[in-house]
A and B are shown apart, each in its own frame.
Chain A
Amino acid sequence: MKLIVAVIRPEKLTEVLEALYRLDVKGITASRVQGHGGELERVETYRGTTVKMELSEKVRLEIGVSDHFVERTVRAILGSAQTGEVGDGKVFVLPLEKVYRIRTGEEDRAAVTPVGVDAHRDPAAV
C-alpha cells in the first residue's frame, strides 16, 4: 500500500477528481493549502503597499491505494493536473504501514478499496 500525496492547482481539482473517479479511486482527502514550488510570484498592490505573494493557493490530495493501483493513480493525476507552466505541483508516493476503516474495522487492502469495488480484481482488466 502507498499513500499518494499530490499538490495541484486549485483550478485543476475538478479535472483531477474526474480522472480519479474514472479509475474507481474514490477515497480522497482534499485540503486547501498554500505553497511555493519555484513558480513566478505574484505582485499585488493594496493602496500604497506593494507586496510579492510568496505562497500560491494549492490543493493537497491524500489518497491511500493498494500497490497495484499506485501507477494508474499517479498517471491519472499527472495527466489531468498538467498545464505545462511552472506551478503545476508535485506527486509524492509514500510507504503506508497500516490502514483501518473506522466503520467496519477492516484493515489494509480491504480498507483502501472503495465500497462496491472488488478488491481483488485484476488491474490489467481496467
Chain B
Amino acid sequence: MNAADTAWMLIATALVLLMTPALAFFYGGLVRSKNALNTMMMSIVSLGCVGVVWPLLGYSLAFGAGTPLLGDLSAALLRGVGLDLAPGTGIPHLLFASYQGTFAIITAALISGAIVERMRFLPYIAFITLWSVTVYSTVAHWVWGGGWLARLGALDFAGGTVVHITAASAALVAALMIGPRKDFARHAVLPHNVPFTILGAGLLWFGWFGFNGGSALAVNGAAVLAFVNTLLAPSVTLLVWVALDLSRTGKATAAGAATGMVVGLVAITPAAGYVSPLAAMAIGGLVAFPSHFAILWRSHTRLDDSLDVVAAHGVGGVVGALLTGVFAQKAWGAPADGLLAGNPRLLLIQAIAVAATIIFTVAVTGALLKVVALVSALRTTPGEQGLGLDISQHGEEAYTSGDGALLLLSESLPSKSALLVPTEGGAR
C-alpha cells in the first residue's frame, strides 16, 4: 500500500463524513424552530441507515463488476473487500469502500431538503435506504463502477451526476408526490437560525476538500488541482451571489451567501480534477446566475421544494456537468478535451449522462415512493405539522426551557405509542 495515499484517503473519508452533520446544520437553520430536530435528524439518520446498507449491499451493487447497467453481489457483505489494494489504486480496498460509503450517505441526506417540515420519519428512513441501494448504487456504477457512462466517456470527477443530479431529481419527485407543507404559500415560513446555516455551509466547504480532493484516490497532481479548484470556484460563486442579491434588493443576505457557497461547491464537483484553476473560477461565476434565478422562480410556483434542492443541487449539478464538457483539458489531467479545447463531442456525452441520470432517477424514485406509501402514509397530518415535527415525530424539542415539565418515573410511563396523555398522573 502507498503510505501517503492511504494517509490522505483516511483523512478525506473523515472529511466527507463530516459533510452529513454539516448538512444537518445547513438545512436545520433554514426551517422553523418547531421542525429543527426533525430536519437535522433527516440528515443524521442517513449515517445510520445508508451507513449500514452500503457495506452490506450498496457497495457491491455500485462497484461489483456486474454488467454495464449494474454491479453484482460479488462484494456483498464486504466479501473480498479487505486490506489488499483496491484495483488501480495504492490504497486498501476497505478504505476505498468506506470512502465511497460517505458519498452514499450524504447523497441520500441531500434529498431531505425537499420534503422537510411534513414527511413522516419512518417512511423517510425506508425511502432513503431503498433509494440508496437502487438509484445511488446504479448511477454510481454507471459512472464510477465501469458502467455504460464510464465506457461512453462521461466525466464526473467527484459526483456532479452521481451525487447532486440524482439527489436533486429525487428531491423533485419527492416534493411533488408528498405535496406541499400545510402552510406553504399561505404563511411566511422563515429560517429560524441563519447562523446554523452559515455554520453548515462552512463545514460543508471544509468537508468538500475531502470530497473533491480525495476523489483522486491518491496524493498526486489531480488531488492538488481538485483541492485548489474547490477553494476557488465557490469563492467566485459567493461573490456573484452577493452581487446578485445587491442588484436585486440592495441588500446582501447571509442566507444567500451560504447558499452561494454550496452552489459553487456543487458546480465544481464534476470538474474539480479536470479543469484549470481559471476555468474553475469561471464555472463558479457562471453557475450563480441560473441557480439564483431558479430559486427566485421556484418560490413563485406551487412546487414546495422547501430548501431548494433542485435549484442548488439540480441546477448546480447540471451546469457543472455540462461545463465540465466545455472546460475539461487533457493538459490539466482530464481523460478527454472539452469544447473549448476543440472537442464538442465531450459536451454531448455529458448531456447524455445528465439526461440519462435524471430520467432513471425520476422513474425509480417515483416507484419507490409508491411502494413505501403502500405500507405507510408519507405525510404528517395538518395537526402534526401545526404542533411541529420535533414533537410529533421525535417527542423532543430543539429549544425547551424544561419549565413546567413533570418527571415521569418508569412505572408511570405511558405506552410507547402515546405522544399525548391526559392531565393528572406523573411523579409529583
Please state if B422 and A40 are interface contacts (CB–CB under 8 Å).
yes
Question: Contact partner of B413 among A36, A38, A50, A55, CB < 8 A?
Answer: A50
Interface string of B390-421 (1 = CB under 8 A from A): 01000111001011111110000110001111
List chain A residues, Cβ under 8 A from B387: 11
Question: Contact partner of B406 among A14, A40, A45, A51, CB < 8 A?
Answer: A51
**What class of interface size applies to chain A in its complex with B?**
20 to 34
Whether a CB of chain A sits under 8 angstroms from the CB of B344 is no
> Given the interface contacts A9-B386, A50-B413, A83-B386, does A42 sit within 8 Å of B419 by beta carbon?
yes
Do most interface residues of chain B lie in helix, strand or loop, or is the interface mixed?
loop
| 8 Å CB interface, A57-91 against B | 83, 85
Least distance between B227 CB and chain A CB atoms (Å): 40
Please tell me the number of chain B residues within 8 Å of chain A, measured between CB atoms: 29
Least distance between A3 CB and chain B CB atoms (Å): 26
Looking across the interface, which residue of chain B has its beta carbon closest to that of A55?
B404
Question: Contact partner of B405 among A11, A12, A53, CB < 8 A?
Answer: A53
Please state if A11 and B386 are interface contacts (CB–CB under 8 Å).
yes
Please state if A41 and B421 are interface contacts (CB–CB under 8 Å).
yes
Please state if A53 and B404 are interface contacts (CB–CB under 8 Å).
yes
Please state if B404 and A43 are interface contacts (CB–CB under 8 Å).
no
**Cα of A106 to Cα of B91 in the assembled complex, Å:** 81
Interface string of B171-188 (1 = CB under 8 A from A): 000000000000100111
Please state if B408 and A42 are interface contacts (CB–CB under 8 Å).
no
List chain A residues, Cβ under 8 A from B413: 50
| 8 Å CB interface, A1-29 against B | 9, 11-12, 14
List chain A residues, Cβ under 8 A from B391: 42, 44
Looking across the interface, which residue of chain B has its beta carbon closest to that of A45?
B395
Whether a CB of chain B sits under 8 angstroms from the CB of A54 is yes
Looking across the interface, which residue of chain B has its beta carbon closest to that of A44?
B395
Please state if A34 and B418 are interface contacts (CB–CB under 8 Å).
no
Least distance between B15 CB and chain A CB atoms (Å): 29
List chain A residues, Cβ under 8 A from B395: 42-45
List chain B residues, Cβ under 8 A from A38: 423
List chain B residues, Cβ under 8 A from A34: 403-404
List chain B residues, Cβ under 8 A from A85: 383
List chain A residues, Cβ under 8 A from B418: 43
Please state if A52 and B403 are interface contacts (CB–CB under 8 Å).
no
Please state if A44 and B396 are interface contacts (CB–CB under 8 Å).
yes
Please state if A42 and B420 are interface contacts (CB–CB under 8 Å).
yes
Whether a CB of chain A sits under 8 angstroms from the CB of B426 is yes
Interface string of B369-398 (1 = CB under 8 A from A): 000000000000001001100010001110
Question: Contact partner of B407 among A14, A40, A51, A83, CB < 8 A?
Answer: A51
> Given the interface contacts A49-B407, A54-B404, A83-B383, does A41 sit within 8 Å of B420 by beta carbon?
yes
**Cα of A85 to Cα of B387 in the assembled complex, Å:** 12
> Given the interface contacts A44-B391, A83-B383, does A52 sit within 8 Å of B421 by beta carbon?
yes
Looking across the interface, which residue of chain A has its beta carbon closest to that of B422?
A40
> Given the interface contacts A55-B403, A83-B383, A83-B386, does A43 sit within 8 Å of B187 by beta carbon?
no
Least distance between A23 CB and chain B CB atoms (Å): 20
Please state if B407 and A43 are interface contacts (CB–CB under 8 Å).
no
> Given the interface contacts A54-B406, A83-B386, does A43 sit within 8 Å of B396 by beta carbon?
no
Least distance between B371 CB and chain A CB atoms (Å): 31
Least distance between A11 CB and chain B CB atoms (Å): 4
**Cα of A115 to Cα of B161 in the assembled complex, Å:** 58
Least distance between B412 CB and chain A CB atoms (Å): 9
Least distance between B307 CB and chain A CB atoms (Å): 20
Please state if A43 and B422 are interface contacts (CB–CB under 8 Å).
no
List chain B residues, Cβ under 8 A from A83: 383, 386
Least distance between B325 CB and chain A CB atoms (Å): 47
List chain B residues, Cβ under 8 A from A9: 386
Question: Contact partner of B408 among A12, A40, A50, CB < 8 A?
Answer: A50
Looking across the interface, which residue of chain B has its beta carbon closest to that of A84?
B383
List chain B residues, Cβ under 8 A from A49: 407
> Given the interface contacts A51-B405, A51-B408, does A46 sit within 8 Å of B396 by beta carbon?
yes
List 14 interface pairs A-B (beta carbons < 8 Å), by A numbering.
A9-B386, A41-B420, A42-B391, A42-B420, A43-B395, A43-B414, A43-B421, A44-B400, A44-B405, A45-B396, A52-B405, A52-B425, A54-B405, A55-B404
4 new A-B contacts at CB < 8 Å, known A43-B420, A45-B395: A38-B423, A52-B406, A52-B421, A54-B405
Which residues on A are within 8 Å of B, measured CB to CB?
9, 11-12, 14, 34, 36, 38, 40-46, 49-55, 83, 85
Which residues on B are within 8 Å of A, measured CB to CB?
183, 186-188, 383, 386-387, 391, 395-397, 400, 402-408, 413-414, 418-423, 425-426
10 interchain residue pairs of minimum CB distance: A40-B420, A55-B404, A51-B405, A11-B386, A54-B404, A50-B408, A14-B187, A52-B406, A44-B395, A52-B426
